[in-house]
Amino acid sequence: MSDNERKWSNGISRRQALAGLATFLAGSPVLRAQQDPFPLAGHRRVPGFDEMTTAYDFEPVFRANVPRAVYDYTARGTDSEFTLRRNREAFDWVDLAGGKAIDAGAVDTSLEMFGERLATPIMLAPTARQRPLHPDGELGMYEAATAAQSAMIVSHASSFPFDRIARAADGPLWFQFYPRPDRELSRQILADAQAAGCRTVVVTIDQTASAYERALHNRHLGGEPRTIERPSAEDLGNPYGVSSGRLWYDWSYLEDIRPMVTVPMLAKGILTAEGALRCIDIGFDGLVVSNHGGRAIDYGPSTLEVLAEVVDAVAGRVPVLIDSGFRRGRDVVKALALGADAVCLGRVPRWGLGAYGVPGAQRVLEIVQAELVQTMAVLGRPTLAALDRTAVRTDFP
């Protein structure tokens, strides 16, 4: 962080200064203080909760409910956000191939994974710091996931301790782990999560040196969910300001921690066949094709366009999950048809939680699940096993 950026981060912002001036002026008896900024005569109707029909309906409500910096924390991607945009554009490169439609009531979306029967292949991806979205944070998100019969992966960087989250509901609960250089610390973190009841451990292996231009542009205005001040380049021992918690680990670390986990263990952040095969050789029980929702590296591929490569390399030896950019049930169908066993939603449940709390998070999951069933019915695919590559046509650039 440069000296100017540090001054911006720690000093009073322009918005705070203007807010203070406005407060002073509002007390003047010659001004009409504290008037409603949007009088009733010019209002626009906000849709009611029961009128929410797609996941996108929740996003503007969420944006209106939280400070700008909290919204940006959820919305942003790394650097120019090319990969963030590419994740969504990729769905335009996959067409659905119609079939003989069946009744939606005949569609079964259940599956078995790691010896457990799941009602839906739609899961909650691990996303950090959910309490700024709503006071219930991960506690409420887990309640919503359980009510919607979806498995939840809890972020290592959650707002609440994992054991407390585990007591909030009784649905399938997994734990996402960020590698730590200290092997003994890694062992303790993993042991605590397993003791608290996590059924699967997901190890993130794409924790790169991300830079978020939105954070710089808004000058870290109040509300961004940060727990500590960003250390200086001098503190980190390198001229680039890269945290010591990133870019240090290699394959040997994953080999070292594999024996520490007795439950199924997945590697999250796979984008190549080579990486997938290496993880299987180490002993991982599953993979997550992920680019961290466009937050890992800029100008990388979308997850959808590399999914088939990974699936073909794995050849059914372990389950393959995918995340990054999924918004609709039709998006989920495209990934399942290309070989994914399950799809993880990251931003979409956050929109629901930030917009309406637990009911919002539950509702947004149910909407995407219903879209999945409806699309499978239109395509004439009654089960997930019947949803294969004949259901899509791809035209990746």
Catalytic site positions: 292
Distance CA 362, CA 355 (A): 11
User: Do the strands 201-204 and 265-270 form a parallel or antiparallel pair, or are they unpaired?
Assistant: parallel
Rounded distance between C-alpha atoms, residue 72 and residue 188, angstroms: 33
CA angle at 320 for the pair 141 and 104, rounded to the nearest 5°: 65
What are the tokens at 194? 């397993």
Q: In Å, how far are 76, 149, 270, 372 from 82, measured between CA atoms? A: 11, 33, 19, 27
Task: Name the DSSP letter for residue 110.
Answer: -
Q: Which of 47, 48, 74, 73 is nearest to 351 (CA)?
A: 74
**Of the candidates 324, 320, 360, 356, which has an alpha carbon nearest to the alpha carbon of residue 337?**
320
Q: What's the CA gap between 71 and 20, in Å, rounded?
A: 23
CA–CA separation, 211 and 141 (whole Å): 27
**Are the beta carbons of 365 and 119 closer than 8 angstroms?**
no
